[in-house]
Amino acid sequence: MPSYQAPLTEMRFVLHSLLDSAEHYAQLGYEEATPDLVDAVLEEAAKFTESVVAPLNRIGDEQGCRIEQGQVITPTGFQDAYRQYVEAGWPTLAQPVQYGGQGLPYSLNLVCAEMQSAANHAFAMYPGLTHGAQATLMAHGDAALQARFMPKLVSGEWTGTMCLTEAHCGSDLGLLRTKALPQADGSYRLQGSKIFISSGDHDLAENIVHIVLARIEGAPAGTKGISLFLVPKLEVDDDGKLTGPNGVHCGALEKKMGIHGNATCVINFDGATGHLLGAPNRGLQAMFTFMNAARVGVAAEGVAAAEAAFQGALAYARERRQMRALSGAKEPEHAADPILVHPDVRRMLLTQKAVAEGGRALVYEMATWVDIGKSPSASAEAKQRAADRLSLLTPIAKAFLTEMGFEATSLGVQVFGGHGYVAEWGMEQLMRDTKISCLYEGTTGIQALDLLARKVLGSQGALLESYCAELAQYWLAQTLPDTLSPLRDQLLSQLQRWGDLTRGIAARAQANPDEIGAASVDYLMFAGYLVLAHQWLRMALTAHQSPALDADFRQGKLHTAHFVFKRLLPRAEAHGALAAQNGDSLMAMSSAQFR
């Protein structure tokens, strides 16, 4: 079973060298977030993750969750680990000071969340969803509601969920049937059922606060009639004290492919008291506060999966001996060479490394934009730029990094060969656990439509043009060594290709809107490889300009950047060619001809 070790050297490189977090935090008023404090937080988070969270990963997979007398029971050790998590103050790290939080940057919390996800995806989901519930409450709840619920959510004594999906509707939320009946006191009574609710019920916290989409009685049909509600499992009085059950029940636990240690529930609302968040019939817009924050977190899950797969596969490749290197024995004193010498094994390991480290750079940079959006010190111009960049890149990061994270776990199984397919090595669990990241918070297809239809074409190309122009200006202004200049030329060429591709799709879509759907996933994957290459060129240049770094670390960055441009970025060309094709081959067959 792979033993997760937090990649602190990599994390510090991205935070301190690549993103200059010290300057970033100082500009936003986070004076206490000095490099020394950041390093101390990372070291303590690594210790907690490696010693408390990681050892429960296989236990959670083997035991799963169960229901006893109406109560969901988590796997052995989860309850104690969560108690330690709360007592150590980890839930409060980046939360509002007025509600008991430490007020540190979102980007620092994301690094800690990556560690937990890599070590134990199922466990990390319990506290992870709570952050989205808090953000939604802070953005759309009134002061009284915040005072009642935020302190316990911030402390981690209570957890939160997001309740969208119903049995008859997944992403098409306009079909939802959960009803909200207005009450004389201003509250609502909710009636309905939700499925696929991650962390929907458990024994880790004394209360669970559900953020629920429902339709107020008499509201319009479709998405225009959806409202958003806060519905606690146990009722809470005006002083924040628990007063008893609230008609919220776990009807069943889903039997799943992976993340067995996390309780994925059917949640029934039987006349449960709920509180309106935001304006009536504006719930879908309000829910995007939760969804957008969750999507950045899920992108980080893709990074975490790639990191965990790389660590396990690399350790195995160093130890496992099979055959001789094609160029001659590398360790003739042994009966065979370690499989690390074989080119195809290196291809797989380098792909994992490229996704983990390049994806980390992307997600951490996006987290700094979230910092800017949250900071009262940032200018209106800086906030708008950050919002624009997040709007464009969130669907790319969420979909591309989870798809590539899943590929990285598949490669991990492949490096192990037959041993990767059996449970004792842990690689097949990692692959099963990771697949969900490609599905929840919007599948890859949904993210692709969001990117192409809403963000790019919906902004008349403004979001994309601004981003591409900024990247082009940045790279044209850099002085690169001869070894990196060809990579810049390749990147600039692909940036031009991105614009050409977009214009071609837009032209075809004027005649046939199906062209957007036909091109969207390949369009997103094209963008993902381009953005990944940009991050790797940045890291290579930063490493080149940082002679104080360990020599092997620096060279590893430079070598991997060349691998990305020679072996991964060419994939973008194939996706671009597919996205440039019209959709005739997809739409020509009638429904009857699918047989």
Catalytic residue numbers, as ranges: 441
Which amino acid makes up residue 451? L
In whole angstroms, give the CA distance from residue 438 to residue 351.
Answer: 18
In whole angstroms, give the CA distance from residue 9 to residue 14.
Answer: 9
Element (H, E) at 27: helix 21-27
In whole angstroms, give the CA distance from residue 129 to residue 298.
Answer: 10
Which amino acid makes up residue 152? K
In whole angstroms, give the CA distance from residue 199 to residue 175.
Answer: 24
Give, in order, the Cα–Cα distances in Å from 402 to each of 39, 53, 442, 449, 526: 27, 22, 11, 16, 15
Measured between its terminal Cα atoms, the distance across the chain in Å is: 43
User: What is the secondary structure of 268-284 as a DSSP string?
Assistant: EEEEEEEEEESSTT-HH
Element (H, E) at 250: strand 248-253
In whole angstroms, give the CA distance from residue 420 to residue 411.
Answer: 10
Instruction: Tell me if 212 sits within 8 A of 136, measured CB to CB.
Output: no
In whole angstroms, give the CA distance from residue 294 to residue 129.
Answer: 7
Which residues does 554 contact at the CB level (< 8 Å), separation at least 6? 543, 544, 546, 547
Give, in order, the Cα–Cα distances in Å from 84 to each of 49, 493, 529: 11, 51, 39
Element (H, E) at 509: helix 485-511
Instruction: Tell me if 61 sits within 8 A of 261, measured CB to CB.
Output: yes
